[in-house]
Amino acid sequence: MACPRPENVGILAVEMYFPTSYVSQEELEVHDGVSKGKYTIGLGQDKLGFCTDCEDVISMSLTVVKSLMEKYGVSPNSIGRLEVGSETVIDKSKSIKTNLMELFEESGNGDVEGVDSTNACYGGTAALFNCINWVESTGWDGRFGLVVAADVAVYAEGPARPTGGAGAVAMLIGPNAPFVMERSYTSSQMSHAYDFYKPVLASEYPVVDGKLSTTCYLKALDLCYRRFCDKYSKKEGQPFSLADIDYVVCHSPYNKLVQKSFARLVYNDYLQSPNLVGEEVAAKLEPFAHLSHDDSLVNRDLEKLAQQVAKPQYDEKVGPTTLLPKVVGNMYCAALYGGLVTLIHNKAESLVGKRLVFFSYGSGLASSMFSFRVRAVESPFSLSAIAEALDITSKLESRIEVTPEKFGKAMHLGETRYGANDYIPTSSIKELRAGTFYLTKVDDKYRRFYSRKPSVESSPAMNGVKIGRIRSEDIRHRLSVFLCARFDVGENGMPAEYPKGGWECGSEGGSYSVPESNGSRWTKEEAELRCRKGDRNGPVIVSGRKQLLSVRVSATGNGDITDSKPPAAHHSHESMCMDKYRLGRTTARWSERVITGIKSRGEMPSTTSAGGMIDRLQMIFVVTRTEEEGTRTKTEPRLSQKPPKPTLAYPVVVVAPHAMWPIAATILTFSQPNVAKHGPSHISELSLL
Amino acid sequence: MACPRPENVGILAVEMYFPTSYVSQEELEVHDGVSKGKYTIGLGQDKLGFCTDCEDVISMSLTVVKSLMEKYGVSPNSIGRLEVGSETVIDKSKSIKTNLMELFEESGNGDVEGVDSTNACYGGTAALFNCINWVESTGWDGRFGLVVAADVAVYAEGPARPTGGAGAVAMLIGPNAPFVMERSYTSSQMSHAYDFYKPVLASEYPVVDGKLSTTCYLKALDLCYRRFCDKYSKKEGQPFSLADIDYVVCHSPYNKLVQKSFARLVYNDYLQSPNLVGEEVAAKLEPFAHLSHDDSLVNRDLEKLAQQVAKPQYDEKVGPTTLLPKVVGNMYCAALYGGLVTLIHNKAESLVGKRLVFFSYGSGLASSMFSFRVRAVESPFSLSAIAEALDITSKLESRIEVTPEKFGKAMHLGETRYGANDYIPTSSIKELRAGTFYLTKVDDKYRRFYSRKPSVESSPAMNGVKIGRIRSEDIRHRLSVFLCARFDVGENGMPAEYPKGGWECGSEGGSYSVPESNGSRWTKEEAELRCRKGDRNGPVIVSGRKQLLSVRVSATGNGDITDSKPPAAHHSHESMCMDKYRLGRTTARWSERVITGIKSRGEMPSTTSAGGMIDRLQMIFVVTRTEEEGTRTKTEPRLSQKPPKPTLAYPVVVVAPHAMWPIAATILTFSQPNVAKHGPSHISELSLL
């Protein structure tokens, strides 16, 4: 028997990336020698974001997936499906999804369904539907889905070039979501058209019939809207019109088309019933009441008038969705969801209770209209938390304007790079934001290699120790660093020795070294300081969230030692680290409980509370040191330093990117006294909210 | 509230296409100057099917979709989702799915979700999962899903070339299926690998690391199998092993790898518990019990021995799945489902109650293991009906062997065609089977045009009238022809007049003309003959199947006239035709009942039977003629001939491709006497099986 379907399935969280480099459309107009306003008013576009040769659709996808998982404390093991919608083809066979699996490698979780969905700008929507269907199917195993919509939109020199852009959006999918898809109203229009396509395989540029594409888009919009209204009224027993919609998000190849689209919806409402648009508007539209559908699509007078009468509603229902598509440009599959991100950025919590209607269009053609109801849910998936995590303002502020000449050069370089092998990107990664993935090399076999710009930034001193922001992928490394440092600490509190050239630490996947002078990571000195000062007895926090911390923890300290078992197949890397260092039984149990908590997200009851300020705490690792020599692990083949005998137990704190400082401070505040006075062996009960 | 999930969701029907041209692997060995047995034993392949330049992945997909819909009487309006899995990229943006929407154009049904799924040979499986999830989701609207897995596998000259192939499989998806997916055991292994990929965009050929790909495949198989066993035993509370599987279908790039794969499963069972493989086998495998996983994957002794001990079970559980992949070759996405087709072809009804386990692998890499339980369902989705409709024997018999030289030339021509524009294919369509789609032209804008080889063939005279096989897309035209002819028939039984140059008939989508001398359609003379002779009183049959005919029909003849209503939005085209010609009320009711029967497929009770031989009949249209002038429709804007006053009622028969002649004859046999003696107005009850 199939278990019942989960409820309120939809989008739990969103993350977005767009390149830091952009060119101004106004500057482009001057550079291209076109009439003023051609791009800014004619297309309705302000800026155009673009990738240099060290970024591509894969790097952008890696960035949003990693970033989303970090910000929301989602472990790779808790993802059961990951899929990508894109029309940016770097490889005709290997999916982008498989590149993203690199992020799962360490966790051992390869049981992640989903591949890439393709049809022009529609792929992301196909992936979204697929992922939501998966959660509602008997195939769902309770884990999260993750959808990526990502594209690089570039055009040959000429009138279409200003309609380029680039970006990626990742969406976390599951039940009890703030954005609940009203799946049964979804309506589609799919047909065969050659309006925009990419048959010239060696070129990144599409073949475009701009006029046909606009007509195809608007015709598909009409059909989808009519079908949507039909499905709604059939199911709900009442007619559907724009009055039932709070916000409309349309696929935005350029903003002008979104303006035209909304005007079409008003015209459609009028055709459905003049009452729906009000007397005044109805009177104005009356002369166009009897046009054939095809004629209505190309009638310039109607187009103009409809936009004019639709303007007040457009400002209210569409305006708050247009910022990113206007200042980043067409992001193909990501464009529509850039509209969603803009709306969250602008409206945040006030979206609760609203209905959002989306129109997704991909040339060729595939299109759908679908809707979300917005619910109030608790942090981290509350609207305000999502808006905060998206951090659009600082993303936009960190962008760098380049000249049209430099943009042209980047496009030209891209032409030589597309489909090429055996090269190293020449563009600087200096402009990339912290935490951004980038292409480091394409080898002679066309294999692509990526790295990530460190996300560690200097941060306020806390408890006498400067703590950096840490990438969650560093958690294991950092933990290893700590352990390593611990081994090396002499009686005077100074490191006794460490590998030449940096810190080298063993872990499941191999050994990791922390270079001596990498500004983006802790230096040796910083780590030493950490050992000498507060950190020795200070807790280390891993980013997280309220509901996962509903565990009551007893740390009984040294002497509480068990033999470590080999890590289970899907053990999280954290617990593997634990095993490796033979932690105390209580600690291991605690760790396991926390990990179980993560796995069964949201199912643990909230129990005790020691303060109201901590809402992003996920895990505390208590690393036990003991004086018993015999408790050292003997199966540590890859550890370059033999671990010295542990002597003390102390909590280790790792702070992940979105564990805000006040939170960390709070923890220190209430846990520090015990730890400082008695050492961790005396913490008999550590209750956390 | 979401309605409950439908049950027994899975594959309802399957259709398969593979090219008619093939080369013998034995001949290839000689031609390539390699050692005898290198391809036939080393790869385990017998023949290699390939496309000429008038076929491609789109034409093959068109063929299977059209053919499946025809054979099973599935109207375009009854499809709510259509998706394609393929790695054959003709266009990097426009999905193959959108090309297939041409088949839906006439029906007006554009509300068909789904696009293309991509990851090497895994795309078809992704599409299958997506489609099944859709049926189980709240987005399902009760219509069928349709999954296409299609690919052209070609390799550069060299050792990989003999592992090519080409084929397409279409699968109809819905509840109450004979092949029910046990969705909750599905296990996957996805990771990042460069074993086989297509980064050289302008070339159709992949970059392959053959050795790595084999290791990746087998490693993924192990991981999937272990996870599958884990999920099963966790859910069912008992261990899972090969003993619980009746048939294993593995993705077959070449048969030898399938042999190795099955041997791995035996080895995995042994590792799980020696008891599972029996004492004798366990003793033989014991020396390999403690190999590391990686070592076990490359140990030649183990590989050899495991295949040897697995042989008896292989013959029983895998052997019946290997024919098509061996004689057509690697069909990438279609290969796995070619295994399913082979199994149905070999085992048909005896599959009932069995469990089939599938292993799907796509380089890059994405892989899944999943299972089906086979249920007994009624025709047309019974195992025997599916096996008969697949008609593999005659498909194989109609193939034509070509020399390795000719094969090489075809590959060379393909190289020049791939990604090219502005050409007309030069290969003959003579060898194509009836009903096969083919490429007619690629224009200067890279737009591709397709046509279909007529499925009309001359056939035995029946009741004095030569009846051709008709494509179901012709049904509407043909019906129109009949109606038109009816109008024109004078008292002498001869057509009074008809439009110059052919027959022109009105219908919903516009007017259709039947050219005078089109060998593939009825000529004017043939149609006249039809009017004069048996057809006037003879029934016209539309292809179909038993359970749809479980209607008791009363045709009371002339005088029984109603006003026609405007056709509903998604009315089937048949009923629209009916409406247009204001048929008698009984007829309309009948038509409606039959159409309802189609829509709620399988839900009509089987009632009466007038003979045992008809099992593919779907619909009979009784077109009522009456002498009342006033009953003519007045709202027939596109009809080029004013309909004359109807004078008689007679049944109209349309025979579609898979309505076999004996069946048609049978109908004539029992219905003719009444019709001939009394005219259709005297058929008071026409009972059909």
- pLDDT over 80 (residue B443): yes
Contacts of B155 in chain A (CB under 8 A): none
Nearest CA in chain A to B120: A93
d(CA A179, CA A9): 8
- The answer to the question of residue A335 being in a domain is yes
Active-site residue, selected from the candidate residues B55, B83, B87, B473: B87
Indicate the range of A27-36, B426-435, B454-463 predicted with least confidence: B454-463
CB contact under 8 A, B93 and A5: no
User: Is A488 a residue whose pLDDT tops 60?
Assistant: no
CB contact under 8 A, B113 and A141: no
| Per-residue buried b or exposed e for B585-594, using 16+ beta carbons within 10 Å of the residue's own CB | ebbbbbbebb
Q: How high is the mean pLDDT of chain B? A: 73
What mean pLDDT do residues B49-59 have?
97
Residues of each annotated binding site of A: 213, 256, 260
Domain end residue (candidates: A321, A347, A377): A377
pLDDT at A329: 97
Q: Are residue B506 and residue B655 in the same domain, yes or no?
A: yes
The answer, yes or no, to whether residue B287 has pLDDT greater than 60, is yes
A340 within a domain of the structure (yes/no): yes
- Nearest alpha-carbon partner for A577 in A633, A501, A649, A536: A633
Q: Is there a single domain that holds both residue B371 and residue B475?
A: no
pLDDT at A552 over 70: no
Backbone angles phi, psi at B48, to 5 degrees: -130, 115
Task: Say yes or no for a CB contact (<8 Å) between B101 and A196.
Answer: no
Higher-confidence residue of B670 and B57: namely B57
Q: In this structure, which long-range contacts are made by residues A29-35, counting pairs with CB atoms below 8 Å and at least 24 apart in sequence?
A: A30/A404, A31/A403, A31/A404, A31/A405, A31/A408, A32/A162, A32/A404
Among the partner-chain residues A98, A120, A192, the one whose CB lies closest to the CB of B102 is A192
Nearest-Cα residue of chain B relative to residue A200: B419
Q: Is the dihedral of CA B256, B262, B268, B269 positive or negative?
A: negative
Task: Write the single-letter amino acid at B373.
Answer: R
Interface contact flag, A119 B115, Cβ < 8 Å: yes
Best of B8, B86, B90, B98 to substitute, by most chain A Cβ atoms within 10 angstroms, is B98
Choose the closest CB to B206 out of A93, A122, A134.
A93
Judgement on whether residues B371 and B468 belong to the same structural domain of the protein: no
Active site residue B251: yes
Binned at pLDDT 50, 70 and 90, residue B453 comes out as confident
Domain range for B323 is 207-376
A183–B130 CB contact, under 8 Å: no
pLDDT of residue B389: 93
| CB contacts, 8 Å: A110 with chain B | 188-191, 223
- In terms of pLDDT, which residue wins out, B331 or B652? B331
Express the helix, strand and coil content of chain B in percent, nearest 5 each: 40, 20, 40
Q: What are the tokens at B277?
A: 């493989």
Tell me which of A262 and B641 has the higher pLDDT: A262
Residues B371, B467: one domain? no
Q: Does a structural domain hold residue B200? A: no
Considering the domain architecture, whether residues A218 and A320 belong to the same structural domain is answered as yes
pLDDT tens figures, A208-251: 999 999 999 999 999 999 999 999 999 999 999 999 999 999 99
Do A351 and A485 lie in a common domain?
A: no
B615-634: average pLDDT: 28
Tell how strand B179-181 and strand B437-442 pair up. Answer: unpaired
Instruction: Compute CA distances B395 → A243, B55, B457, B657, B688, whole Å.
Output: 57, 17, 16, 15, 31
Residue to test with chain A: of B95, B125, B140, most A Cβ within 10 A: B95
Is B160 part of any domain? no
HEC string of A205-219? CCEECHHHHHHHHHH
Q: What is the DSSP letter of A536?
A: G
Q: What residue in B sits closest to A183 (Cα-Cα)? A: B139
Q: Show which of B376, B409, B438 is a domain's final residue.
A: B376
Residue-level pLDDT at B619: 29
CATH number at residue A258: 3.40.47.10
Distances (CA, A) of A450 to A70, A441, A637, B191: 18, 7, 28, 15
Calculate the average pLDDT of chain A.
Answer: 73
Q: Which of B54, B121, B131, B484 is catalytic?
A: B121
Token couple for B267: 């080895």
Q: Which of B27, B83, B204, B251 is catalytic?
A: B251
pLDDT in the model for residue B455: 60
On whether residue A27 sits in a domain, the answer given is: no
Higher local confidence (pLDDT), A504 or A331: A331
Dihedral pair phi/psi, residue B625, rounded to 5°: -105, 145
Task: Give the number of other Cβ atoms within 10 Å of residue B501's Cβ.
Answer: 11
Q: Tell me the C-alpha distance between A36 and A40, whole Å.
A: 8
* SS3 label, residue A144: strand
Same-domain status, A502 and A373:
no
**Looking at chain B, which residue has its C-alpha nearest residue A446?**
B199
- Read off the pLDDT band of B395 (50, 70, 90): very high
Q: Specify whether the CB–CB gap between A360 and A176 falls below 8 A.
A: no
Q: How confident is the model at residue B336 (pLDDT cuts 50, 70, 90)?
A: very high
Q: Do B94 and A126 touch (CB under 8 A)?
A: no
> Is residue B29 situated within a structural domain?
no
Average pLDDT of the residues in A646-675: 25
Read off the DSSP letter of residue B39.
Answer: I
The answer to whether residue B350 sits within a structural domain is: yes
A388-416 in b/e form (b: 16+ CB < 10 A) is: bbbbbeebbeebeebebeebbebbeebbe
- Chain B: closest CA distance from residue A6 (Å): 10
Residue A541 has pLDDT above 60, yes or no: no
Buried b (16+ CB within 10 A) or exposed e, B645-659: ebebbbbbbbbbbbb
Q: Are residues A467 and A596 in the same domain?
A: yes
Helices B383-390 + B335-347 axis angle, to 10: 110
Per-residue pLDDT tens digits for A297-324 = 999 999 999 999 999 999 999 999 999 9
Binding residue ranges of A for CoA: 213, 256, 260
B57-95 pLDDT, tens digit each: 999 999 999 999 999 989 999 999 999 999 999 999 999
Annotation marks residue B229 as catalytic: no
Q: Is B384 annotated as a binding residue?
A: no
Cβ neighbours of A566 in B, within 8 Å = none
User: Beta partners for B118?
Assistant: A116
Q: Are residues B366 and B466 in the same domain?
A: no
User: What does the radius of gyration of chain A's CA atoms come to, in whole angstroms?
Assistant: 27
Give the whole-angstrom CA distance, residue B130 versus residue B128. 5
pLDDT-derived band at A3 (thresholds 50, 70, 90) equals low
B437-442 and B207-208 beta bridge pairing? unpaired
Domain count of chain B? 2
Final residue belonging to a domain, choices A377, A408, A423:
A377
Residues A482 and A608 in one domain: yes
A455: nearest Cα among A57, A17, A95, A47: A17
Is A199–B122 a contact, with Cβ atoms under 8 angstroms apart? no
Which run of H or E residues covers position A234?
helix A210-236
Q: Does residue B333 lie in a domain region?
A: yes
Cis bond upstream, residue B365 (ω within 30) = yes
